[in-house]
């Protein structure tokens, strides 16, 4: 369990985390009608910086639009959002890298199964930046649960209620002795892990499922692609068959909470040589540098807080 810091933002003010409550009768609780994002705040030589803060704010806007929560965007500018992140940081004491989870909740009581015109409130809290998958080599299995298709619950929106799908899949993997799972879509193509995107290396080409493969269009997925482009690595976005993972030279997961994590086993089949491959290692190193302000050309992705 990750450590949560003492102060949260809720109902327009900074409060103790123990007082940041959503009603049991709210749409957020009754229907899972909330959308969220998680972004890192990292310690650099110049101080603490938030990574791709505007992108995370825009993810909240897009997720809200997709599911029809139509009151948040008019009430929260990016400048107000950034200021609130700063206030939350000032209210907590930490010296290490952390994550911030920002969530838009539909807080009207028993509104029925609808989304438009509902009152929304923003919450934010800070917790320790511990990875959700092993960083030295993850073992994964194909999930017995299929990824919820975009035409059922939109994959591009980070909808809280949709993560029951991920919980079922990851718990099955854990019960079977694995670290995480591989989601397939209804056609049997690879989507992602329970809460991270996936990349494959074959013959020196970096391959990842396309955005039409019922995946979350991850912000760190985009970052990995941008880093790879600067390194001259060929990148292909396309559908991927499960058996391709079995014969991949390298596999890795990526995401805010996954960082870049090598995958060394799929369905009891060793990937490559059973250790992090060359491309994975260099991307992992560069990604760490981007997050911590040491990679030239990526400074614009960091926002001082």
Rounded CA separation 112/283 (Å): 46
Task: Report angle CA 61, 255, 65 to the nearest 5 degrees.
Answer: 15
Q: For residue range 211-262, what is the model confidence (pLDDT) as tens digits?
A: 999 999 999 999 999 999 999 999 999 999 999 999 999 999 999 999 999 9
15 is in which domain, residue-wise?
A: 4-128
Same domain, 277 and 146: yes
Domain end residue (candidates: 83, 102, 128):
128
DSSP helix/strand/coil, 195:
coil
Point out which residues pair with 36 in neighbouring strands.
Answer: 103
Q: Are 250 and 285 members of one domain?
A: yes
CA distance 31 to 145: 21
Say which DSSP state 116 is in. Answer: T
β-pairing, 13-16 with 4-10? antiparallel
From 107, 128, 149, give the residue that closes a domain: 128
132 contact partners, CB below 8 Å, separation of at least 6:
180, 195, 196, 255, 257, 258
Domain count, the chain: 2
Going by pLDDT thresholds of 50, 70 and 90, the confidence category of residue 8 is very high
What are the tens digits of pLDDT across the range 133-171? 999 999 999 999 999 999 999 999 999 999 999 999 999
């Amino acid at each position: 369990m990750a450590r949560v810091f003492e102060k949260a933002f809720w109902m327009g003010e900074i409060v103790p985390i123990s007082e940041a409550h959503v009603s049991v009768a709210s749409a957020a609780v009754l229907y899972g009608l909330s959308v969220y994002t998680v972004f890192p705040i990292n310690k650099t030589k110049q101080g603490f910086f938030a990574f791709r803060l505007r992108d995370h704010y825009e993810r909240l806007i897009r997720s809200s639009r997709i599911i029809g929560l139509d009151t948040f965007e008019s009430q929260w500018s990016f400048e107000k959002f950034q200021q609130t992140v700063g206030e939350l940081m000032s209210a907590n004491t930490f010296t290490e890298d952390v994550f911030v989870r920002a969530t838009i909740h539909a807080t009207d009581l028993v509104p029925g199964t609808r989304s438009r015109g509902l009152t929304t409130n923003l919450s934010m809290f800070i917790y320790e930046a511990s990875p959700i998958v092993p960083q030295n080599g993850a073992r994964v299995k194909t999930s017995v649960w299929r990824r919820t298709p975009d035409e059922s619950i939109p994959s591009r929106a980070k909808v809280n209620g949709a993560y029951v799908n991920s919980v079922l899949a990851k718990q099955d993997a854990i019960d079977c002795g694995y670290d995480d799972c591989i989601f397939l879509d209804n056609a049997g193509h690879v989507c992602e892990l329970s809460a991270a995107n996936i990349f494959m290396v074959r013959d020196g080409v970096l391959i990842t499922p396309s955005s039409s493969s019922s995946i979350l269009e991850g912000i760190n997925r985009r970052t990995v692609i941008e880093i790879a482009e600067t390194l001259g690595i060929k990148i292909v976005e396309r559908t991927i068959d499960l058996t391709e993972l079995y014969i991949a030279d390298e596999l890795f997961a990526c995401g805010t909470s996954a960082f870049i994590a090598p995958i060394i086993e799929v369905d009891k089949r060793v990937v490559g040589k059973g250790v992090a491959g060359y491309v994975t290692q260099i991307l992992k190193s560069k990604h760490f540098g981007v997050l911590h302000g040491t990679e030239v050309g990526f400074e614009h992705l960091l926002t001082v807080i």
